[in-house]
Amino acid sequence: MHHDRYFGAAGFVMQSIYVVILLTIVGSPVLVILFAPLQLSVKRAHGRHRFFAVAISFLVWALVLSLLRIANVSVADFLVD
């Protein structure tokens, strides 16, 4: 139980920081709404599985963000041309 409480609090803080970072980088609340299903899957997980769920959601969002940034750059280049 102790570990679940610790992971829950730490996970919540990490997610809050992550959402703030998301908003600053992308400036789009839509992405935070899209982030909700990942949060739900993390909440359903327990103990060690919760840790992996958090890690996977971070990886997924890092990938999504990098893809979006690549897309934004290419769109900007296209508009300049």
Residues 28-42: tens digit of each pLDDT: 566 666 666 666 666
For 1-40, b/e burial (b = at least 16 CB within 10 A) is eeeeeebeeebeeebeebbeebeeebeeeebeeebeebbe
Residues 6+ apart with CB under 8 A from 19: 32, 35
At residue 55 the predicted structure's pLDDT band, cuts being 50, 70 and 90, is: confident
Mean pLDDT over each residue of the chain, to the nearest integer: 66
Give the model's pLDDT for residue 5: 54
Residue 57's pLDDT band, with cuts at 50, 70 and 90, is: confident
List of residues 6+ apart from 68 with CB closer than 8 A = 26
pTM for the structure as a whole: 0.37
At 1 the pLDDT is: 45
Q: How far apart are CA 55 and CA 51, in angstroms?
A: 6
